[in-house]
Amino acid sequence: MIDLMGFAPDPEVRSKNLRIGAIGAGMIMAECHLAAYRQAGFPVAAIASRTKARAQAVADRYGIAVVHDTPEALIADPAIEILDIAYPPDQQPALIRAALAQPHIRGILAQKPLALTLAEAIALRDEAAAAGKVLSVNQNMRYDQSMRVLKQILDRGDLGEIVFAQIDMHAIPHWQGFLAAYDRLTLANMSVHHLDVLRFLFGEVAEITTTTRTDPRTTFAHRDGITVSTLRFASGVLALSLEDVWSGPRAADYKDDQHIGWRVEGTEGTARGTIGWPTGVASTLSYASRKTTGGDWVTPTWDTMWFPDAFVGVMEQLQHAIATGTPPALSVADNVKTVALIEAGYLSMAEQRTVRLSEISTE
């Protein structure tokens, strides 16, 4: 039995009629984007990837009628209204710029990180605004069910003034092969989920201190393997984001305990939970409030999951923004602030000091 206790862990689908062109046929597109779109009834009109045969296989699986030879050919297809990109971040800006030049494309859903540098992210923000296009960034952890319900609890004031928060990850992400060629790994490609969702929950960050070490369990050269970031928000909230992206040995004879946990403490209560992605289960949340639960711990439940269900909300917010002429919930302007936070984290690593966000220009 699902007991939502008046909360809305998943958003309402308000708009879903714009034709989507999917670029990419890897795990995130095939297992998350397209699975969610089929569930929600979003029309996917075409697909393309680096390898046409792989795109064809995914098209056959989801009943997508048109398979283009190249991403550029898909972008030029006048039937496409929304471009959905799941492509390496070093190649994403060129695809975005090609789409901005097409009059038939009304909106773009880009992957995170939006770009590999803050300067590039700022340029894309400004170019999208000049083209009059809606550019949105797929920060899908904001649509994880536990994060959405936590945000509703915070907005109601159930926990009082927030004092401390943490996200504690010990889990193995899907490291795509192209990441081995980049000089930035965990902070840009995994911590980006946590740093962004902390901004979603608590507002703007005043300063960040990030430390890192290389991880001997990662098989390719890298700088930032395990990362630990301490954030102080303008509101006074102190937060910790920890990413251990191996979680023990990766070996057949080792029974790992992969998990992601989180906790938020306030003057009137505490919330805690788990992110279910590493083990393929629903995320969880429990909270106790002197104001609304009599100090008892209560646990709303749901049966949807971050992967793939959160991707319904990500695409829906873009569809709705275009349909209504309102700003998207996941706007590129807001995402540039997340990219700036990542940039500040890398500066903190390099100079071994606390970095104030006022040092990082987003103009």
Given this model, what pLDDT does residue 218 score? 86
Q: Which helix (H) or strand (E) holds 265?
A: strand 259-266
Identify the residue with better confidence: 4 or 136: 136
pLDDT tens digits, residue range 310-326? 999 999 999 999 999 99
Q: How far apart are CA 261 and CA 267, in angstroms?
A: 21
Q: How many CB atoms lie within 10 A of CB 351?
A: 9
Strand order in the sheet with 107-110: 66-67, 44-48, 20-23, 82-85, 107-110, 134-137
Average pLDDT, the chain: 96
Structural domains for the chain: 20-140+312-330 (3.40.50.720), 141-306+339-357 (3.30.360.10)
Given this model, what pLDDT does residue 333 score? 98
Q: How far apart are CA 294 and CA 269, in angstroms?
A: 10
Given this model, what pLDDT does residue 214 score? 93
Q: Quickly state the pLDDT bin for 141 (edges 50, 70, 90).
A: very high
pLDDT tens digits, residue range 30-88? 999 999 999 999 999 999 999 999 999 999 999 999 999 999 999 999 999 999 999 99
Q: Is the pLDDT of residue 1 over 60?
A: no
Q: Model pTM?
A: 0.97
Kindly calculate the radius of gyration of the chain based on its CA atoms and give it in whole angstroms: 20
Q: Quickly state the pLDDT bin for 4 (edges 50, 70, 90).
A: confident
Given this model, what pLDDT does residue 311 score? 98
Given this model, what pLDDT does residue 205 score? 98
Bridge partners, 228 (sequence order): 211, 242
Quick one: angle between helices 191-202 and 145-156, nearest 10? 20
Q: Quickly state the pLDDT bin for 124 (edges 50, 70, 90).
A: very high
pLDDT tens digits, residue range 233-266? 999 999 999 999 988 888 889 988 999 999 999 9
Q: Quickly state the pLDDT bin for 229 (edges 50, 70, 90).
A: very high
Q: How far apart are CA 338 and CA 200, in angstroms?
A: 10
Identify the residue with better confidence: 216 or 282: 282
Given this model, what pLDDT does residue 32 score? 97
Given this model, what pLDDT does residue 251 score? 86
Q: How far apart are CA 63 and CA 77, in angstroms?
A: 18
Given this model, what pLDDT does residue 173 score? 87
pLDDT tens digits, residue range 331-348? 999 999 999 999 999 999
DSSP state for residue 140 in the 8-state scheme:
G
* Virtual torsion, Cα 148, 153, 154, 160, nearest 10 deg: -160
Q: Quickly state the pLDDT bin for 174 (edges 50, 70, 90).
A: confident
Given this model, what pLDDT does residue 2 score? 78
